[in-house]
């Protein structure tokens, strides 16, 4: 049975930075409160033209370049997002088109902030069963488009960004060793966007009531998060037959420094064993774990053979954890610079659209 190795990783965040002081000019808050209650100093906010698909594609190109494979080598693209471009088509398909990944099936996965862990686990299962060899897993969010910028309980927390992993089959032992996935829909109302789906389609009433914005019971989510982080970490380690002392790094969902601190105390681990970068990005939901992984690698906190736990929680409620034996890039078949592929992908998409118009014209003439 092949092992599922993470062979490439990449991230992308919008250029625009919004500091706590910037926020204090639009809502009744201040830098001190935000730092003390969440640990966040600033976040990146998408500008016009930056979307979940554009950030996701940029992160994906970086991950492909790191893995040294072409978009056409991909069999599957799984995009985890809670801020898709549309209800349908899937954001994964828009990214597939931007990459020119002509041989890949593509679908979205919705498990909120835990989504990247669920998606990675699905990718690993597809590789173990032999149904795919090279998979792109993306976590991407433009939460700023769904935040009520008059609600200080939520708008201070979230940021935009994307991260991506390439997961590939290899006979060498290592990579994704085990994962746990949990859900509890009875807590769904604690964190939601109430309207815009089939239960409450968009109407003047839903818009006026602010039901298309993120609604959150912060205290309930906090209580839930501190309960499940430790439990999920231990479960994934146990499933992978790891002793807790063997874990070299924990990469948690970057929601709140106090939640990570509580997890560290619960596990009796020093805080240094946790990758933390939420001060720069805020909570980027499903993108937070891959972004933190990229930065952990850049800060030389990851080396081949390290036993790493990714752990997250979020709306649903969902929570989960994944044990990853860090592979480092494995020898790739060919070297590519992902940027070279962008014009080709754009041309491919353009030609496909022209071809479709041409085919439509011909079929009208035939009938």
Looking at residues 134 to 193 of the shown chain, list those that interact with ligand UT7 (rule: CB under 6 A): 152-153, 156, 191
Backbone angles phi, psi at 248, to 5 degrees: -95, -30
Q: Pick the closer one to ligand UT7 by CB: 20 or 54.
A: 20
Measure CA 310 to chain center. Answer: 12
Which DSSP letter does residue 327 get? -
Is-catalytic flag, 253? Answer: yes
Site string for ligand UT7, 320-359 (x = CB under 6 A): ----------------------------------------
For tokens 């089959």, the residue is 169
Instruction: Tell me how far apart the alpha carbons of residues 151 and 366 are, in angstroms, rounded to a whole number.
Output: 58
Q: How far is the CB of 220 from ligand UT7 (least distance, A)?
A: 8
Site string for ligand UT7, 31-70 (x = CB under 6 A): --x---xx--------------------------------
Residue from 314, 317, 322, 324 that binds ligand UT7 (CB under 6 A)? Answer: 314
Contacts with ligand UT7 by CB under 6 A: the residue count is: 20
Q: Does 29 bind ligand UT7 (CB under 6 A)?
A: yes
Q: Pick the closer one to ligand UT7 by CB: 147 or 166.
A: 147
Q: Does 222 bind ligand UT7 (CB under 6 A)?
A: yes
Q: Does 132 bind ligand UT7 (CB under 6 A)?
A: no
**Which one of the spans 80-88, 194-202, 219-227, 346-354 is the region binding ligand UT7 (CB under 6 A)?**
219-227
Q: Pick the closer one to ligand UT7 by CB: 7 or 29.
A: 29
Which DSSP letter does residue 130 get? T
**Taking the CA of residue 226 as centre, how many other CA atoms within 13 Å lie in the half-sphere pointing to its CB?**
13
**Which one of the spans 5-13, 41-49, 56-64, 213-221 is the region binding ligand UT7 (CB under 6 A)?**
213-221
Vertex 253: Cα angle to 248 and 259 (nearest 5) = 90
Burial degree of 36 (CB within 10 A; 0-12, 13-18, 19+): exposed
Is-catalytic flag, 79? Answer: no
Helix, strand, coil content of the chain in percent (nearest 5) = 45, 20, 35
Alpha helix positions (H), the chain: 20-24, 31-38, 52-67, 91-99, 115-128, 152-155, 204-208, 218-239, 257-267, 278-281, 288-298, 338-366
Is-catalytic flag, 256? Answer: no
Positions marked active-site: 113, 253, 283
Residues in touch with ligand UT7 (CB under 6 A): 29, 33, 37-38, 113, 152-153, 156, 191, 216, 218-219, 221-222, 225, 255-256, 283, 285, 314
């Amino acid at each position: 049975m092949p092992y599922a190795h993470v062979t490439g990783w990449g991230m992308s965040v919008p250029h625009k930075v919004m500091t706590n002081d910037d926020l204090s000019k639009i809502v009744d808050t201040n830098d001190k409160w935000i730092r003390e209650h969440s640990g966040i100093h600033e976040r990146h906010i998408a500008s016009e033209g930056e979307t979940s698909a554009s950030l996701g594609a940029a992160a994906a190109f970086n991950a492909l370049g790191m893995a040294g494979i072409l978009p056409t080598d991909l069999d599957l693209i799984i995009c985890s997002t809670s801020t898709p471009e549309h209800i349908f088509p899937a954001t994964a398909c828009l990214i597939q088109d931007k990459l020119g990944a002509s041989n890949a099936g593509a679908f979205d996965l919705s498990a909120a902030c835990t989504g990247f862990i669920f998606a990675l686990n699905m990718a690993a299962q597809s590789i173990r069963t032999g149904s795919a060899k090279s998979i792109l897993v993306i976590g991407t969010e433009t939460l700023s488009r769904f935040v009520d910028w008059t609600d200080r309980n939520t708008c201070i927390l979230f940021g935009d960004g994307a991260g991506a992993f390439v997961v590939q089959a290899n006979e060498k032992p290592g990579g994704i060793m085990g994962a746990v996935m949990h859900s509890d829909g009875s807590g769904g109302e604690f964190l939601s966007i109430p309207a815009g789906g089939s239960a409450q389609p968009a109407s003047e009433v839903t818009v006026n009531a602010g039901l298309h914005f993120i609604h959150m019971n912060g205290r309930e989510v906090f209580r839930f998060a501190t309960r499940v982080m430790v439990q999920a970490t231990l479960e994934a380690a146990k499933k992978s037959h790891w002793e807790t002392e063997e874990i070299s790094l924990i990469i948690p969902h970057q929601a709140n420094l106090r939640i990570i601190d509580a997890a560290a105390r619960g596990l009796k681990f020093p805080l240094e064993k946790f990758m933390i970068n939420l001060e720069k990005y805020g909570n980027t939901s499903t993108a937070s774990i891959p972004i933190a992984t990229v930065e952990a690698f850049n800060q030389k906190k990851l080396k081949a053979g390290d036993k790493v736990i990714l752990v997250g929680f979020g709306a649903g409620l969902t929570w989960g954890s994944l044990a990853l034996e860090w592979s480092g890039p494995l020898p790739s078949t060919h070297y590519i610079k992902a940027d070279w592929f962008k014009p080709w992908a754009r041309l491919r998409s353009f030609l496909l659209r022209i071809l479709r118009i041409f085919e439509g014209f011909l079929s009208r003439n035939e009938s």
